[in-house]
Structure 1
Amino acid sequence: MVRVRVVQHSGLRRQALRRRVLWGGAEVLVTVGVVLLLLVVHQVWWTNREAREGAGREVRALERAWDGAGGDSRTAVSAPSATAEPAPADASADPGVSEPAPGTRRRSADPPAPDWSRAYAILSIPRLGLRVPVAEGVSKAGVLNKGYVGHYPGTGQPGQAGNFAVAGHRNTHGEPFRYINRLAPEDIVRVETRSATYTYAVDQTLPQTAAHDGSVIGPVPRSGVKPGRGYEDPGYYLTLTTCTPEYTSRYRLVVWAKLVSMRPR
């Protein structure tokens, strides 16, 4: 006698339901994975490409404007004496600061501040093959996310006594300061403006400090967190700041340089 196996329809329905649930879950996971991958590609690759192209166009526009203004380069002159009193500055060391520091004062002899969030200088680091525009302010949307380097409001301008302090992204949005940790003493950093080119030589690097260590961009830059790091005497300084470690904003990496020459355009 042959026994016929009886299959309950309810069991078949449960198996089909489980298969649909598993298949639906797999589709959701694949979709989420694709979306996350696209977000990563956009953040890491597309923002870099877009920002670098925009920054490059701005550099070329500045060069054309300056060339049209005329002016011949003359023999470089030595940096002015560092005995002059630097202009006061009051700003945070956080590259994400979006507004100028309140109560900031400027000496009457100082040149007027550039238009807000507009590029007005070019920063070049030959060792890194970097050539990027500098704009006033350090907001992300207005300056840093364009691939520009941002000038901290309240700090000195290029060539002035005191501290010309700037910030830049280390990752994404052009990441102009990604490799400033590779800079060594005597490496050259140039800041070009409409009137002159200022050459600074790297002097010190602070590999890591707290994000709130605002003293690193003071008129006489020094760390308020790392004793003994920085300077004691007035001078003509350049400060580069960015986030560290890579792909985080927990700490700040700081590179200090000193003015060594000025070449009028």
Structure 2
Amino acid sequence: MTALRPERDSGAAPVGAADDGASYGEQPYEGFGAWQGQQGRQGYAGTGAGREGASYEQQAPQSSYEATAVLPVLSGYEDPETYEAPDRRGAFAPRDSETVALRTVDIEGMPRAAERAGESSGPAPGGRAARRKAARRQGRRHAGRSQTAEKPAGSAGAAPLSRVEARRAARARKPSAGVIASRVLGELFITTGVLMLLFVTYQLWWSNVRAHQQADRAAQHLQQDWASGKREPGEFEPGQGFAILHIPKLDVAVPIAEGTSKSAVLDKGMVGHYGEEGLKTAMPDARTGNFGLAGHRNTHGEPFRYINRLQPGDKIVVETQTEYYVYTMASLLPVTSPANTSVLDPVPKGSGFTKPGRYITLTTCTPEFTSKYRLIVWGKMVEERPRSKGKPDALIR
């Protein structure tokens, strides 16, 4: 802060100034205009550098500092306690409305003095309120820096990682052997489940669709041959169809083929005749004997699925090229071993028949969807009707 000059304190006239009857110290202060006019008459009194009679504007100041130091006093900053010298650019800070303290002026392109001061270790200038504001601003800056420092690697604005840190981050991102093994095991389980679901769908649905189509084509082929008068010999090749089985109660009409091969007969939706050596049974036109048939209970057309529902007296009809053979259901064996071949004997054991006759035996797996045991149904022929006489009553609805 610049103090008043000694000449003004003592009341003495400046050196080299014209005396118009009153000393400088005795002249009343009438504001800047009055003082400037008076100086125009007396001339600027400094250190002797001014010319007597010259105006204040015509005299150049001795230094820029002295001219600048006087301006605050002439601009109304009379109180020495609240006045501070302007900065090096000549700008004055306004008073704070709360503490009557000075605030720094933010000039575009230049850093603020309070911010520079806040970044240093010294206290913020001004009163208590100004120091609080500077502290809050400084806290916000530090908080922003800390948030930037806490940003994860790879994010925008984050500092680049060193080689060691980058390698560690890459290893951390790489899955471990346990994770890879669990993923592979999970994929295997999912694949196995999908395959099992497809297999079940094929067995329970698609196999039936395919078998029904194949059985229907075989039945149509037989009927066309019979209608054309094509004669078939008494012996048939394995897989060759030669008759049609009707079970009216169960709404079953399925071709009968020679043999019990799964691939050639049973899986195609047809019923197989036990004609192989060791399990060879009689044909329907035999005078005595047991006509044995096998069929699927589940899947592949499942023609014998509901034969367990047959009751004594229900009709079973075998249709050939020349005859209808009508049987009446006689008895049922719910469970027996697959090795029990005695059920196919000419007089089957367990059937209730006691003497030779013309019998029919139906065999299938049990329980459903398994092949652990066999279910047996027996019937006895009650009618032989030529095709020329029309269908038997059992097939007329």
TM over 0.5: yes
* 1:221 counterpart = 2:348: yes
Q: Bigger CA drift: 169-178 or 10-19?
A: 10-19
Q: What is the rounded CA distance, in whole Å, between the counterparts of 1:159 and 1:240 in structure 2?
A: 17
Q: What is the rounded CA distance, in whole Å, between the counterparts of 1:60 and 1:69 in structure 2?
A: 14
Structure 1, unmatched stretches of 5+, are 71-110, 224-228
Q: What is the rounded CA distance, in whole Å, between the counterparts of 1:15 and 1:122 in structure 2?
A: 65
* 1:134 counterpart = 2:256: yes
Q: What is the rounded CA distance, in whole Å, between the counterparts of 1:171 and 1:135 in structure 2?
A: 19
Q: Deviations over 1:181-235 (max 9, x none)?
A: 1111111111000010111110101011111111101111114xxxxx4322111
- Residue correspondence of structure 1 range 189-204 to structure 2 within 5 A: 189-204=316-331
- CA RMSD between the two structures: 2.5
Q: Deviations over 1:98-117 (max 9, x none)?
A: xxxxxxxxxxxxx8322222
Q: What is the rounded CA distance, in whole Å, between the counterparts of 1:231 and 1:166 in structure 2?
A: 18
Q: Which residue of 2 aligns with 1:24?
A: 184
* 1:112 counterpart = 2:112: no
Structure 2, unmatched stretches of 5+, are 1-145, 151-164, 388-397
1:208 maps to which of 309, 327, 335: 335
- Residue correspondence of structure 1 range 9-88 to structure 2 within 5 A: 9=169, 12=172, 16-69=176-229
Q: Deviations over 1:50-95 (max 9, x none)?
A: 111100111111112212229xxxxxxxxxxxxxxxxxxxxxxxxx
Larger radius of gyration: 2
Q: What is the rounded CA distance, in whole Å, between the counterparts of 1:136 and 1:18 in structure 2?
A: 58
**Does the 8 Å contact 1:51/1:174 carry over to 2?**
yes
Q: What is the rounded CA distance, in whole Å, between the counterparts of 2:177 and 2:183 in structure 1?
A: 10
User: Which residue type is aligned with residue 185 of structure 1?
Assistant: P
- Residue correspondence of structure 1 range 140-155 to structure 2 within 5 A: 140-153=262-275, 154-155=280-281
Aligned length: 220
User: Which residue type is aligned with residue 302 of structure 2?
Assistant: E
Aligned-residue sequence identity (percent) comes to 46
Q: Which is strand-richer, 1 or 2?
A: 1
Per the normalisation by structure 2, the TM-score is 0.51
Secondary structure, aligned partner of 1:232: coil
User: Which residue type is aligned with residue 193 of structure 2?
Assistant: G
Compute the displacement of 1:163 (Å): 0.6
* 1:157 counterpart = 2:270: no
User: Which residue type is aligned with residue 250 of structure 2?
Assistant: L
**Does the 8 Å contact 1:216/1:230 carry over to 2?**
no
Compute the displacement of 1:171 (Å): 1.3
Q: Which is helix-richer, 1 or 2?
A: 2
